[in-house]
Amino acid sequence: MGEIVKTPKTPDMIRHMLDELQTPAKTLTAWELNFLESISDQFEERSTLSDSQFEVLERIYAEKTS
């Protein structure tokens, strides 16, 4: 079985994902847009996200940028 590679939860990686989702390859839902706006604001204030927020960001990023 293949090893699961975790995306590093670094400020640079979070910023990259948020930036890429500004012009996603696939349309974002209203919920995704609201979620991304919310975590973007939090990221600007705290320079980090919770593990749960990062997992959702990873999922949206994987679905919408490929």
The one-letter code for the residue type at 60 is I
Question: Do the domain assignments include residue 5?
Answer: no
pLDDT for the residue numbered 40 = 97
pLDDT for the residue numbered 5 = 65
Spans of the chain below 70 pLDDT: 1-5
Question: Do the domain assignments include residue 45?
Answer: yes
Range(s) of the domain holding residue 25: 11-64
Question: Do the domain assignments include residue 25?
Answer: yes
CA distance 47 to 39: 10
CA distance 23 to 49: 21
pLDDT for the residue numbered 2 = 59
Query: What are the structure tokens assigned to 3, written together?
Result: 């090893």
Q: First and final CA of the chain: distance in angstroms?
A: 24
Question: Do the domain assignments include residue 17?
Answer: yes
Question: Do the domain assignments include residue 57?
Answer: yes
pLDDT for the residue numbered 7 = 85
CA distance 60 to 62: 6
Question: Do the domain assignments include residue 41?
Answer: yes
